[in-house]
Amino acid sequence: MIVEILCVGTEILLGNIVNTNAKFLSEELANLGLSVFFQTVVGDNPERLESALDIALNRSDIVITTGGLGPTQDDLTKEIIAKAMGKKLVENAKAKEMLEERLHSFRLVITENNYKQAFLPEGATPLYNNHGTAPGAIVENNGKRVIMLPGPPSEMTLMFKESVLPYLKTLSDDVIVSRTVKMIGIGESTMASMADDLINSENPTVAPYAKPFESQLRVTAKAKSEAEALGLIEPMVDKIKERFEDYIYSYDVDESLEAAVVKLLKANKLHIACAESCTGGMLASTIINVPGSSDIINESFVTYSNEAKEKRLGVPHDILEKYGAVSEEVASKMAEGVALVSAADIGIGITGIAGPDGGTKDKPVGLVYIGLYYKGNTVVKKLTRKGNRLTIRQGTVMTALDMIRRAVG
């Protein structure tokens, strides 16, 4: 079945916002084994919306729209969808109920205008909006389907997961199940060439994905039941595990590297402390973004100046003088020092040149040392990263998290 994504919103055409809705829907639909051949964005203009909708219905089986359901524009979009699908716009009793419940939960007084949101194309199935007020809807006619979703991503993604996903699954006799293997420390092209034979597999399929600073393999099986699909997936995941074990940090598509690291430290009852120079608190902040990180981190230091490195972490003055702040020796002393002063099991010390200025021939922009102290040993990793100040710092944080995972795991 061919699906087209049609996003309605002048703010996208003006470049005010990035179209994350299209990305989210495309990814979800790909996971279901449905083909998306086109994404279209059109503004809040009736003629152009009608024309875009006609084109989409002509070349696709299902059109998923986002946006244009707000209190000021809802009539318009819904009228046009109704027209394109050959339906009248009528008050939908179930949508009205949903709407009253939602407005009540927001303690809002219901105005006549609100009730316009309960009007849907005749025979449409309303979709509950757990994050806003306007219901979505599924409209079917002559084998074509339009699924109308709200524009705000928080409303749209929840409605998709709660209502649209189960609906789309009923359209196929097959069950599609995916499993994502997440890796760090290996580039996408290396991963893909190492998995070359697996990528040629037909059911399950294996597809490589590059994400910022990490790589993924997604295994997808199509079968008559979930159990059967899992039966196809598991041996393939085992093969991937055997080949890439060292790089794999999670088999859960929603688990971030930092969440995996926090879980690992929790399980091992370990505490960590960071001493950061060029990353300036980004590693600590990334760890602390994981709920419950207070179990594994009490404190951390941003020691940007040499003086702070000496005073807070006890990095010897002569080592800073002799090797310079950006050196293996200083990274090592920072890691040991922060573990000691914070009484942490693991100490991380990061020092580097994030640019754009401050680079020399010997110590260019992108040179970073990450020290890791654990169980009486200190290791230092030297990075030579490309990119801008932010991406050098972000990549450093990811490598530091990877080092922690490998040291403990």
Report the interface residues with a second copy, using CB under 8 A: 12-20, 22-30, 36-43, 45, 48, 51-52, 55, 59, 209-210, 274, 276, 278-285, 287-289, 291-294, 297-305, 307-308, 312, 342, 355-357, 389-390, 393
Closer to a second copy by Cβ: residue 212 or 376: 212
Minimum distance from residue 311 beta carbon to a second copy (Å): 8
DSSP 166-217: HHHHHT-SSEEEEEEEEE-SS-HHHHHHHTHHHHT-SSSEEEEEEETTEEEE
Minimum distance from residue 170 beta carbon to a second copy (Å): 22
Minimum distance from residue 358 beta carbon to a second copy (Å): 9
Closer to a second copy by Cβ: residue 232 or 341: 341
Asked if residue 64 lies in contact with residue 4, where contact means CB atoms within 8 angstroms, the answer is yes
Cα separation, 114 vs 340, in Å, equals 62
Output the CA angle 161-398-292, nearest 5 degrees. 60
Closer to a second copy by Cβ: residue 219 or 283: 283
Q: Tell me which residue has tokens 């600073």.
A: 213
Give the burial class of 228: count Cβ atoms within 10 A of its Cβ; 0-12 exposed, 13-18 middle, 19 or more buried: middle
Residue 139 carries which DSSP code?
Answer: E
Closer to a second copy by Cβ: residue 126 or 366: 366
Per-residue tokens: 153 = 């991503």
* 221 three-class SS: strand
Strands lying side by side in the sheet with 248-250: 205-211, 214-223, 175-183, 248-250
Closer to a second copy by Cβ: residue 190 or 225: 190
Minimum distance from residue 24 beta carbon to a second copy (Å): 7
Closer to a second copy by Cβ: residue 235 or 292: 292
Minimum distance from residue 272 beta carbon to a second copy (Å): 11
Minimum distance from residue 25 beta carbon to a second copy (Å): 7
Give the burial class of 182: count Cβ atoms within 10 A of its Cβ; 0-12 exposed, 13-18 middle, 19 or more buried: buried
Closer to a second copy by Cβ: residue 150 or 355: 355
Minimum distance from residue 181 beta carbon to a second copy (Å): 15
Strand ranges, E, within 54-118? 62-66, 89-91
Of 322, 346, 264, the closest CA to residue 334 belongs to 346
